[in-house]
Structure 1
């Protein structure tokens, strides 16, 4: 939330004022002007939230006791807990399984992160 709030603070108020002078409603200002400007931070926040959920270990190991509901990080740790030397190949494959959805999501969101951060809304 602080990340999004900090980005909201950098959006110039002149965008709101110019849109309201042009006759836009508050909803139109938000959806047509502010939301496209905020796309980079929303994409970054979604990506960081996904990485946080996928790699969550502490809460997952406390609350998820059934093997059917464990996260991948907790399951990998449980696999290595018994014998730390025999399952390293499977552990590496599980680590790749954690990385693949994040990489795919990043490839999808990359155009919003880079394109939105380089496109200026107000000329200075």
Structure 2
């Protein structure tokens, strides 16, 4: 995090939303590495059995690999959605000014808990926290069935 801050500072990108967009977009490589590790665990025998049965490579991908990969797809979607929403520390370091137009949700909610503001804004803070948690909860509930379905899906016996 410190190295990224100094790189952004040398490029003159601190205190800009562009810096956060660049960093969050660049971190998608981690999702790729995790997904690759998952795809490596899918047995080659599934592919070979489907090819012997006459399936094309396209059929193997859409009818075997994708259904078995639902857990990693759901994980990647949830992580890609949640990481920027709840990343308080990094956003607080990059966004050094206190311009309220540049506040992220986590920073704005945290600033409501300041010593001199907590009595005035605590009810707004709790309402904001509930509002932030609603889309995350809905996404998780929607994606959970795909996660469980992918984990319990059939595979090669033996």
TM-score (norm 2): 0.67
Q: What is the aligned length?
A: 124
Q: Conserved in 2, the CA contact under 8 Å of 1:64 and 1:70?
A: no
**Corresponding residue for 1:74?**
107
CA deviations over 1:60-115 (Å, ceiling 9, x no partner): 33248653453210111233345234322211111112211111011111111111
Q: Find the residue that maps to 1:121 and give its secondary structure.
A: coil
RMSD: 2.2
After the TM superposition, list the runs of 4 or more consecutive aligned residues in structure 1 that deviate by more than 6 angstroms: none
Q: Which region of structure 1 is more displaced relative to structure 2, 27-36 or 99-108?
A: 27-36
**In the alignment, which of 127, 135, 139 is matched to residue 105 of structure 1?**
139
Q: Which region of structure 1 is more displaced relative to structure 2, 80-89 or 114-123?
A: 80-89
TM-score (norm 1): 0.83
Alignment of 1:1-124 (within 5 A): 1=31, 2-61=33-92, 62-63=94-95, 67-81=100-114, 83-124=117-158
How far apart are the structure 2 equivalents of 1:16 and 1:48?
A: 28
